[in-house]
Structure formats: structure tokens, C-alpha cells
Structure 1
Amino acid sequence: MTDIATLGSLLRLARDTVANPREGATTVLSFAPRRQALWLMFALVVVASLMMGEIVALVTVLPADGPMTGPFVQSPLALGLIQAAFLFLMIHAIYHVGRFFGGSGSLEEAALLVIWLQFIFICVQVIQIVAILVLPPLAGIITILAVALFFWLLVNFIAVLHGFTSLGLVFVVTLLGAFGMLVFLSLVLASLGVVVPTA
């Protein structure tokens, strides 16, 4: 079993996962951490992602009014809770929708893969920050590529998690899960007074 206890090992595994998502997902699932360690990892990636988001906002000098408005989103803690809720819903959507279509993955495995996906995109955020500081036009290209990479990794992760062989079926599962998450999140955010502009 490969040792991923060090940052260098994590970064190498992240690189290998981008190059071969299915093999990377299989390797990550082979570690099967205990539930307490799993949720500690969940908290760590939420905090790290929030910090990286704040750094990106600082180096790009974003305006005070971001994509979401409302008193609730002015607090970093509140933004962290929103992000944690998003990842939590993603885990359950991947698990429940996949199981509905005959998948065999467990909730803990779904959580582990979502955490790993989030870690990879924290690494992408670091690359984006460097690009903003060194070559700003490149940052926009990285953002576009990151969106494509996100869906590519997610589809492959779901396929490995649930033992699906058809990427078409996985794509349907992904769309259904995403739609359910968006509906639920929109209702929750609206109840908190958060407004997401549509134009």
C-alpha cells in the first residue's frame, strides 16, 4: 500500500489521478480510513478551500459584491458552512442516486472520493494563484480547464465508486445528482436570505 501520509505523496497521487482518474480513484478507495479520520479530512479540505478562495479574491481584487449577496454570506464562517453543506450534499447525491441506479458504493467511499476531488481542486487553486501573479491571462484558461477537469474526474470517480461501466449512465447520474443539489441548495440559501443573481 502506498504511503500518502506526506504532502509530496499526496501531490504525486493527485497528479496521477488527473492522468488516470479511474486508477487514482481505485488507489484512494484502497486506503479506507476510519469514519472519524474521514470527517476530519472533510473539515480540513473545507477550511483549506475557503482559505484558498479568500487568497484568490485578494490577488484578483474582487469587488465586495460577489456572485452571492445577502448578510449571511458576509461572514467567512458562513461561507465555510455553505461550502461544507455543498460537499455534504454532493456526497449524498453521488451515493443515493448511484445506488438507485444499481451502484454498489458506500457512503464512506463517496465521501472519500469527494474529499479527494476537493483536494485536487485546492491544488488547482494554487496553480491559478501563481498564474494570476505571474501571467494573469493564463488564469482564465486555467479556470475553463478546471471546470472540464472537474466533470471528467467526477464522472470517472462515480464509475469506480459504483462499479458502472457505462459513462453515459454515469453522466445521467451526475446530472440528476447535480439537479437535486441545486434545487435543495437554492431553497436553503433563499431561506437564509442569500440571493444568487440570475443575470
Structure 2
Amino acid sequence: MAATSRDTTAGGMTHRMTDDAPLEFTPRALVAAAVQTIRNPREGAVRVIRTGLPVPVLWTMLAAVVSASVVMGQGTLIVTTQGGALANPYLANPLVMCAIQLGLLVVMVYAIHTIGGWMGGQGAFEDSLALVVWLQFVMACLQVVQTAALFVLPPVADVIGLVGLVLFLWLLTHFIAAAHGFRSLGMVFVMILVSAFGITFVMSLVLALFGIASPGDFNV
């Protein structure tokens, strides 16, 4: 029987969704949902919000996705650089890398929720958290493809890396717009760039005050 459609609201906006909109947590269904999210970011965002997972579960999922991404990334670096990457004190310890990435994502979650609210957004905190988790999952799927290409055709892996950066910003823009009900993607994109610059500047000052060197002080 064909799935029927219905109206659902996220961030103050109404979308047409099918009855099977909530995510199904099987590997095949999640990968299919990730592909569909790339094709239609806003609909993918609404699916994630509609799933309505509890906040503690979302934090656990975020930690799991980050851990998997770090393990995969470090494994690839060790193989491709023949262990040379381990000379970098940040890359040598997976726990440090995991903590750094997780910390940055936590800042992203609160920034999306707080700054979006300042700009008149209507999204809930759990919506921002859920979308950051889903964004990381989609990027992790792309990381798997990039890793496979790295061993088969390295130049293609470089292209995938550039595509991944564009895709990250594209999805993030749509996700924030869906979560907060913003209609102008251009405004959201500018807000992302300005916020990223401001947050990076503040974090650099804080790290400098505590005498912590930035990752750029080490050679990879």
C-alpha cells in the first residue's frame, strides 16, 4: 500500500511528510535516509526531528558517531602515512582527538540553538542536538566512501574531501533553517560564517589565556 502524506511542523514551518517519516534504526534504513537527506536536506531534517529521540540518547549517539569517525580517521592516517601522523601529539592519542571533536560539536549544538534563537528562530534544543548528530552520521558515511577511494584511487579521495566540505555547509544551512523555521538560506549561511568566525576567535583567546597551543603549532 502506498504511503500517504500528512502535514508536520518543525521550527514553525509546515512540511509534507509520509507516514513512514520517522527514522528506522537499521543499517540499511539509516544509509538510505542519509542518501535521501543529501538529495532533500530539509525533508531529511524534518524526519530526524520527527523521530523525537530523548536528549540523553542523542548525546550517546553523538559520542558514538564521533568515536567511530575518529577511529576510522586515525586508522587511515596510520596506514597512509606509515605511522608518521603519530608524531603529532593530537593525532597520537585517539581519546584526545575524540574529546576535541566532541567538544567542538557540543559548542556547535549550543550555538545553533542559542544564536538561532537570537535571530528569531523557534527550534527546541533537542532539535538542534538531533540534527548535529544526524549531520555527523551523514558525514561519517561520506568518510567511509572517501576512505575506500583513498586505497583504490587517491585523487578521487581528494575530490570527495572537497565535496564533503561543501556538503557539510549545504546540509548545515538547510538543517538550521528547518530547525528554526528560517526561510532565507542565504541569511542562514551568512549567520553560520559570522558565528564560526566569532566562536573561533573567542576560543582562540581562551586557549591562549590558558597557555594551550593551537593544533596549528604542530606539524602533521
- TM-score, normalised on structure 1? 0.90
Which residue is equivalent to 1:130?
Answer: 148
For structure 1, the 5+ residue unaligned runs are none
CA gap of 1:198–1:179, structure 2 versus 1, over 3 A, is: farther
Q: Return the offset for 1:73.
A: 5.7
- 1:11 corresponds, among 22, 31, 38, to 31
For structure 2, the 5+ residue unaligned runs are 1-19
Asked if structure 1 preserves the Cα contact closer than 8 Å seen for 2:77 and 2:85, the reply is no
Asked if structure 1 preserves the Cα contact closer than 8 Å seen for 2:66 and 2:101, the reply is yes
Most deviating of 2-11 and 25-34:
2-11
- The number of residues matched between the two structures is 196
Cα deviations across residues 7-42 of structure 1 (Å, max 9, x unaligned)?
A: 111000000000110111111110110122111111
Root-mean-square deviation over aligned CA pairs: 2.2
- The percent identity for this pair of structures is 41
Cα deviations across residues 25-65 of structure 1 (Å, max 9, x unaligned)?
A: 11111011012211111111111111121122123217337
Tell me which stretches of 4 or more aligned residues in structure 1 moved more than 6 Å. Answer: none
**1:57-136 mapped onto 2 (5 Å cutoff):** 57-61=77-81, 63-64=84-85, 71=89, 74-136=92-154
**1:163-182 mapped onto 2 (5 Å cutoff):** 163-182=181-200
Q: 1: distance between equivalents of 2:218 and 2:194?
A: 21
Q: Return the offset for 1:3.
A: 4.8
Bigger radius of gyration among the two: 2
CA gap of 1:6–1:137, structure 2 versus 1, over 3 A, is: same
1:46 maps to 2:66: yes
- TM-score, normalised on structure 2? 0.82
Greater helix proportion: 1
